[in-house]
Structure 1
Amino acid sequence: MYTKQALRELGVTGSDFTDDQRRSLEENGFFIQTGVFSPEEAREMAEAFDDLHRKEGERGGHEVHVEPGAPRVSNLFNKTDAYDRCLAIAPVLAASHHLLGEFKLHGANLRDPLPGKGHQDLHVDVPKLFEDDWWVLNAIVTFDDMTADNGPTRIVPGSHKWHPINVPHVNQGDWEPAPLTPEEEARTPKDLAAPYPGELHVTAPKGSVIVMNSSMWHGGTVNRSGERRRVLHLTYTRRDLPQQLVQRDYLTEGLYDRMSPAQRFLMDIEELPADAPAQRSARKAGTGTDGHWWR
């Protein structure tokens, strides 16, 4: 199977990704689509987040990254089917194909900044080797209204065309930053925690999807109001690049069985590993690989 075939089998065509969305993604680095999920669906996914967080507590997100001040949950699809619907968001899949070509699931992480917490330094998630070398697309699915006061994501529109800044070490691979030009030096903030000129704090109602090029400068902000701001960060990457969470390493029979062949292809789980039961036993015993990924 290949990506275009998988998308066709899932009913995803070019009409799922409008000219305006394509233009905004290319020029600004992001677009927003509201009304992807109903308020009831958003509530169900928010409650599933809370259920998982109650079970995992401070270990939540340990498969990828534990963030003080912002509860997380990772390895979602092996723990619940509540988020399977997010694997079928047509504009996200179409945009991933447009941006990345042959692509696969990269990661899926829940995040909820606590009152007075959630601020992140300005960063990009991945490096790039040349101007339009795109590695990852990030889709933020909102379960609560994302407001100006409850820790909205801050972005710098158009910055995906600029040089990478503050790339998490674990995502750098063998990439080494090139020397900066005087223009790039002047553009680079001295204080990554401070507001950046022209940055936008994204707001969107519950049930929306914020689709962004992960090479765009962005970061979390402080939840000043204390209102819940639960989201899913669903990421896709090129098929030649590693997944954030290697799905085959965590694959359960339950997930494998409920995915169609096209979905298995996009998740890179086309075969159920022979040692899957042993892997599950090891994970129940608390073993696993912790990583670091900023949002």
Structure 2
Amino acid sequence: MYTKQALREIGLDGSELSDAQRKALDEQGYFLVEGVYSKAECREMADEFDRLTAIERDQGGHEVHVEPGAPRVSNIFNKTAVYDRCLECKPLLAAAAHLLGEFKIHGANLRDPLKGQGHQDLHCDVPKYFPDDWWVANGILLFDDMTLENGPTRLVPGSHLRPPINIPYVNIGDWTPIPLTPEQQALVPQDFAKPYPGEIHVTAPAGSVAILNSSIWHAGTTNRSGARRRVLHLTYTRRDLPQQLVQRDYLTQGLYERLSPAHRFLMDVEPDAAMAAPRKSAQREGAKGWWN
């Protein structure tokens, strides 16, 4: 299977992005789609977040990143079926196809900044080797309204076309930055925590999806009101790049059996020869696992 085939099987025909959305993604680095999920769907997904965080408490997100002041949950598809619908978020899948070509899931992390918490330094998620070297597409799926008071995402339109800044160490890999020109250096903020000239705050009702090129300069902001701001960060990456969470390492029988062949391909959980050999060996030795 290949990506276009998988997307056709899911129901995408290549017409999901409008010309305006494609232009915004190319030139501004993001676009917003409202009404992707109903109020009932948002309520169900938000309630499931609360259930999972009550179980995991301060260890929530431990598979990827624990963030004090902003409860998280990672590895969500193996823990519940409630978010399976998000694997068919058509505007996000279409944007990933446009940016990345052949792609697979990268990560899926729930996040809810608490009152007085959630502020992040301005950053981009991934490096790049040349101006249009795109690594990751990020969808922010809103289960609650995102307002100016409850910690909206801030971003700098068009900054995906600039050199990357302040990349999380875990995402750098073997990348070595290219020295900046004086003009480029002048654009880099002296203080990543402070507001940046021209930045915007993303506000939208629950059920919306904000779609970002992960090379855009962006950050979370402080939740001043304390109103809930539960979101899912669902990311896709090129198939030649590593996943944030290696899905095969956490795969449960329940998830595997729920997924169609197309979804298994996009999640990159089909066993390859290297995986199959030890499983067959374990079976011969009497070991039991769900794959036997």
Please say whether Structure 1 and Structure 2 have the same fold, judged by a TM-score greater than 0.5: yes
**What is the alpha-carbon distance in structure 2 between the residues aligned to residue 201 and residue 55 of structure 1?**
32
**What is the alpha-carbon distance in structure 1 between the residues aligned to residue 15 and residue 178 of structure 2?**
39
Is contact 1:250–1:279 with CA below 8 Å preserved after alignment?
Answer: no
AA matched with 2:37: F
AA matched with 1:257: E
User: Could you list the runs of 4 or more consecutive aligned residues of structure 1 that deviate by over 4 angstroms after TM superposition?
Assistant: 277-280
**What is the alpha-carbon distance in structure 2 between the residues aligned to residue 278 and residue 5 of structure 1?**
34
Corresponding residue for residue 254 of structure 1: 254
Q: Deviations over 1:196-247 (max 9, x none)?
A: 0000000010000000000000000000011000000000000000000000
Unaligned runs of 5+ in 1: 281-295
Matched residues, percent identical?
68
RMSD: 1.6
1:69 aligns with 2:107: no
AA matched with 1:94: A
Q: Deviations over 1:58-115 (max 9, x none)?
A: 0000000000110000000000001000000111111101100000000000000000
Secondary structure at 2:15 match in 1: helix
Corresponding residue for residue 99 of structure 2: 99
Q: Following TM superposition, by how much is the alpha carbon of 1:278 offset from its aligned partner in structure 2, in angstroms?
A: 8.2
**What is the alpha-carbon distance in structure 1 between the residues aligned to residue 223 and residue 168 of structure 2?**
23
AA matched with 1:205: P
Corresponding residue for residue 40 of structure 1: 40
Secondary structure at 2:148 match in 1: coil
Give the TM-score normalised by structure 1. 0.93
Q: Which moved more, 1:173-182 or 1:132-141?
A: 173-182
AA matched with 1:117: Q
Secondary structure at 2:58 match in 1: helix
**What is the alpha-carbon distance in structure 1 between the residues aligned to residue 201 and residue 227 of structure 2?**
16
Corresponding residue for residue 82 of structure 1: 82
Q: Following TM superposition, by how much is the alpha carbon of 1:271 offset from its aligned partner in structure 2, in angstroms?
A: 2.8
Corresponding residue for residue 50 of structure 2: 50
Aligned length: 280
1:236 aligns with 2:215: no
Closer/same/farther in 2, CA of residues 28 and 169 from structure 1, 3 Å limit: same
Corresponding residue for residue 202 of structure 1: 202
Closer/same/farther in 2, CA of residues 12 and 179 from structure 1, 3 Å limit: same
**What is the alpha-carbon distance in structure 1 between the residues aligned to residue 24 and residue 13 of structure 2?**
19
Is contact 1:154–1:202 with CA below 8 Å preserved after alignment?
Answer: yes
**What is the alpha-carbon distance in structure 1 between the residues aligned to residue 13 and residue 204 of structure 2?**
25
**What is the alpha-carbon distance in structure 1 between the residues aligned to residue 289 and residue 244 of structure 2?**
18
Is contact 1:107–1:236 with CA below 8 Å preserved after alignment?
Answer: yes
Q: Deviations over 1:250-282 (max 9, x none)?
A: 00000000000000000001139637x9899xx
Closer/same/farther in 2, CA of residues 18 and 279 from structure 1, 3 Å limit: farther
Question: Quick check: which has more Rg, 1 or 2?
Answer: 2
AA matched with 2:81: D
AA matched with 1:241: L
**Superposition pairs of residues 89-238 of structure 1, within 5 angstroms:** 89-238=89-238
Give the TM-score normalised by structure 2. 0.94
AA matched with 2:115: P
**What is the alpha-carbon distance in structure 1 between the residues aligned to residue 95 and residue 270 of structure 2?**
23
Q: Following TM superposition, by how much is the alpha carbon of 1:17 offset from its aligned partner in structure 2, in angstroms?
A: 1.2
Secondary structure at 2:157 match in 1: coil
**What is the alpha-carbon distance in structure 2 between the residues aligned to residue 138 and residue 195 of structure 1?**
22
**What is the alpha-carbon distance in structure 2 between the residues aligned to residue 44 and residue 11 of structure 1?**
24
Is contact 1:36–1:209 with CA below 8 Å preserved after alignment?
Answer: yes
